[in-house]
Amino acid sequence: MAQPLVFILNGPNLNLLGRREPAIYGHDTLAAIEELCRRSGATLELEVDFRQSNHEGELVDWIHEAGDSAAGIILNGGALTHTSVALLDALKGVDLPAIEVHLSNIHRREEFRRHSYPAQGAVGVIAGFGPQSYALALVAMANLIAAQAPR
């Protein structure tokens, strides 16, 4: 049987990981995080589709695409987290469990990072564990999908 497909979507500037503010985001590249997600996904028997875009509309389109083809969405919206009603509406528009992730703990940084729009359309938020935030989100997603599966 085909494994459940999980879209892992990354927003603006996350392509710069590795050289972007390493004191906050660490030294791992996005490619290394993708590899971690692939390994975690394989262990959890999930298929992973890992993408990054600097464009809000492209992320919205991918959420719609996930609605047609995936079992769940893990989203790191980057800075769009704090501005994008469109990402929230897209998550609400598709009938899929979503988990928001952040590398950094957005609650112990600047005040403006404490508010998240997409979090209001997510089952939960995992923040502050660096690349492990993604691995933890995959474990949570595997449980959500298993809970939905017909027994």
CA 20 to chain centre: 19
Among 13, 15, 29, 132, binds ligand DQA (CB under 6 A): 13
- Nearest to ligand DQA of 45, 115 (CB atom): 115
Strands, sheet with 98-102, edge to edge from the N-terminal-most edge strand: 47-52, 5-10, 72-76, 98-102, 124-127
Which residue in this structure is represented by tokens 């590795």? 18
Contact string (CB under 6 A) for ligand DQA, positions 46-85, x = contact: ------------------------------x-xx-x----
- Nearest to ligand DQA of 3, 83 (CB atom): 83
Residue 121 to residue 78: CA distance in whole angstroms: 16
Q: What's the min distance (Å) between Cβ of 143 and ligand DQA?
A: 22
Is 25 considered catalytic here?
yes
- Nearest to ligand DQA of 81, 97 (CB atom): 81
Q: Does 104 bind ligand DQA (CB under 6 A)?
A: yes
Instruction: Copy the structure tokens of residue 71.
Output: 């079992």
CA 100 to chain centre: 5
Residue 116 to residue 83: CA distance in whole angstroms: 8
Is 102 considered catalytic here?
yes
Q: Catalytic positions, please?
A: 25, 102
